[in-house]
Structure 1
Amino acid sequence: MDAPVAKSAPLPPDSCGNCPESLPPVAVEVGFLHVGPQGQGRPERRCIATETPVQIVFNGVLPYAVMMVTPADLEDFAHGFVLSERLLESPEELSACRIERAGGNVILQLTVAQAPFRRLLLRRGEGRSLSGRTGCGVCGLETTDLLDAPLPPVPAGGSFTLAAIRRGLRDLRASQVMNAEVRMLHAAAWTDRAGKILLVREDVGRHNALDKLIGALQRAELDPAEGICLLTSRCSFEMAQKAVLAGMRCLVAVSAPTARAVTVARQAGLTLVAQAREEGQNIFCGSERLSDLRLADPSSPRCE
């Protein structure tokens, strides 16, 4: 397993790849159960990316936005963000950038001159802060308070099978009707306990697709806890958070989870399966709900 590109400074004991000592690691190593084609689970470990809430504050008094960011090259991010979001008219208007830690979060303290600061205040007064966009699940937040709010536990109990998950994954592509035409949409699907896909919602934004699915479940009066949610995207923390708040017990993502998503899932008791294909899946937590899971070594830990 290749480590991320080195950045500098010593590593925290649970991290992979180098990062500045003052910042969180860019990746951490986690344990999971890898299930191969024969259905046997064996403990493995790998590095997964972290995502850190980065709050952007102007002149120490104006919180503007919270972005989920890989905690590296943050000064570059600050300079690029203020220009690409049309917050400043030229690079020279940003006179200083200071990085601060606040618990597990990061604050970018940006200093601007009086004229651009007045424009920012006017923009705020007109209600024009950060607009929603397809790739962002926390756009519009100005502080990290909601990100740190506790989540309710998912409904206890419940039993699912790897066979049902594989069936859903096998049928998922054919169920993406709109994506068959445009080849660019994310999907969130819901299966029954047998793995039969009952609902699919598609969107250019992965968060939007999941929100649509949650809404469809509510309107159809289907219990989210009684089925399996399939995602064609990576599983970042807000995707896990949305699943928990919707009352889902089992979330399956085709791509990898972030470290924060794994933490959310473990704390809430969500079964999280990721890097999921028909031929193999990685179970990051909640393996006790998978009734047909067989451990290659019954005495081995379940990495939870």
Structure 2
Amino acid sequence: MTAMLDEAVAALAFDRLAPDGATGSVVRPLAEEVPIAIEYNGAGYAVLMATPADIADLVQGFSLAERLVTRDDALLDVDMHAAARGIVARATLPPHRTEGLLDRVRHRASDSACGLCGIENLDQAIRPLPRVTAMSRADRAAIFRALAALGDHQPLNAATGAAHAAALAGPDGTIRLVREDVGRHNAFDKLIGAMARTGAGWDGGFALLSSRCSYELVEKAALAGCPLLVTISAPTRLAADRADEAGLPLVVLARADAVLARGTAL
């Protein structure tokens, strides 16, 4: 196993049951899932349940999704510290972003039982999205090429059968970068963070996710400037509405038996 898999996989013994009543035992690889506590400038902000690999990528992508930083900001300095029950990731925001941090902390900590606070929290939950201006050059063949290749880039899922993947695909469908996690949101945050940290751009390609198309994933894609979002399962109505709002083309139910497109000329 690679170093990443050593961090992300554990083994556990199970009893094997068969329809004919036969029994046995097997040692099964399981995906790790631990609390990742994220701190900014010394203040606790969020705890994510995630696979303990590519944590700096996760924090970078999560910070972009939370609008604590933008794609134009410098990369975050992230220090990881092992704790008794998980990992503490300490990030430092640039000085001009601290006001936004305090505002987000106030909304996250406010009491939703208060009428005014509840209204403010609803406004924060459905915030306006930036318009997607980048264009994908991928065609149908490229999407199916990426779908066919994705499994070869999922070592954690191959070992455990319990991980989502988020991939950056080029305009020809070549898989350029992949991140995995037990959570679909975490996998996409890791991919977006990895792109920022490595300087990778969309370059006319698209994002391919091994999950349903939730509104949170649409928002992450829009905030990352993704020109085309492809998901293996279906969208929610809110996800489709939010994609329309941002001008983000969608390809959903992306598999051989049923492919749906919205906002794209594919």
Structure 2 length-normalised TM: 0.55
1:273 aligns with 2:251: yes
1:261 aligns with 2:215: no
Which of residues 286, 297, 300 is equivalent to 2:263? Answer: 286
Aligned equivalents of 2:250, 2:177: Cα separation in 1: 20
Tell me by how many angstroms 1:269 deviates: 0.8
Structure-2 residue corresponding to 1:36: none
Aligned equivalents of 1:279, 1:220: Cα separation in 2: 35
1:192 aligns with 2:167: no
Which of residues 224, 244, 256 is equivalent to 2:202? Answer: 224
Correspondences of 1:23-102 after superposition (within 5 Å): none
Question: Does the 8 Å CA contact 1:186/1:203 hold for their aligned counterparts?
Answer: yes
Post-superposition, which runs of at least 4 consecutive aligned residues in structure 1 deviate over 6 A? Answer: 127-130
Aligned equivalents of 1:198, 1:244: Cα separation in 2: 20
Aligned equivalents of 2:129, 2:253: Cα separation in 1: 24
Question: Does the 8 Å CA contact 1:251/1:271 hold for their aligned counterparts?
Answer: yes
Aligned equivalents of 1:158, 1:248: Cα separation in 2: 9
Which of residues 131, 144, 151 is equivalent to 1:166? Answer: 144
**Where does the alignment leave 5 or more consecutive residues of structure 2 unmatched?**
1-42, 51-64, 67-104, 111-120
- Tell me which amino acid in the other structure corresponds to 2:153: S
- Tell me which amino acid in the other structure corresponds to 1:269: G
Question: Does the 8 Å CA contact 2:136/2:171 hold for their aligned counterparts?
Answer: no
Aligned equivalents of 1:144, 1:132: Cα separation in 2: 21
Which of residues 174, 189, 204 is equivalent to 2:182? Answer: 204
1:229–1:128 Cα change, 3 Å: closer
Tell me by how many angstroms 1:212 deviates: 0.4
- Tell me which amino acid in the other structure corresponds to 2:264: S
Q: Secondary structure at the match of 1:213?
A: helix
How many positions carry a matched residue from both structures? 159
Q: Secondary structure at the match of 1:188?
A: strand
Question: Does the 8 Å CA contact 1:225/1:249 hold for their aligned counterparts?
Answer: no
Tell me by how many angstroms 1:158 deviates: 3.8
**Where does the alignment leave 5 or more consecutive residues of structure 1 unmatched?**
1-126, 291-304
- The answer to which structure has the higher helix fraction is 2
Aligned equivalents of 2:201, 2:134: Cα separation in 1: 14
Aligned equivalents of 1:238, 1:178: Cα separation in 2: 23
Aligned equivalents of 2:255, 2:162: Cα separation in 1: 19
Question: Does the 8 Å CA contact 2:167/2:178 hold for their aligned counterparts?
Answer: yes
Question: Does the 8 Å CA contact 2:170/2:203 hold for their aligned counterparts?
Answer: no
Question: Does the 8 Å CA contact 1:170/1:278 hold for their aligned counterparts?
Answer: no
Structure-2 residue corresponding to 1:235: 213
1:213–1:130 Cα change, 3 Å: closer
Q: Secondary structure at the match of 2:129?
A: coil
1:239–1:145 Cα change, 3 Å: same
Tell me by how many angstroms 1:286 deviates: 1.8
Structure 1 length-normalised TM: 0.48
Cα root mean square deviation, aligned: 2.3
1:190–1:172 Cα change, 3 Å: same
Structure number with greater Rg is: 1
Structure-2 residue corresponding to 1:43: none
Q: Secondary structure at the match of 2:122?
A: coil
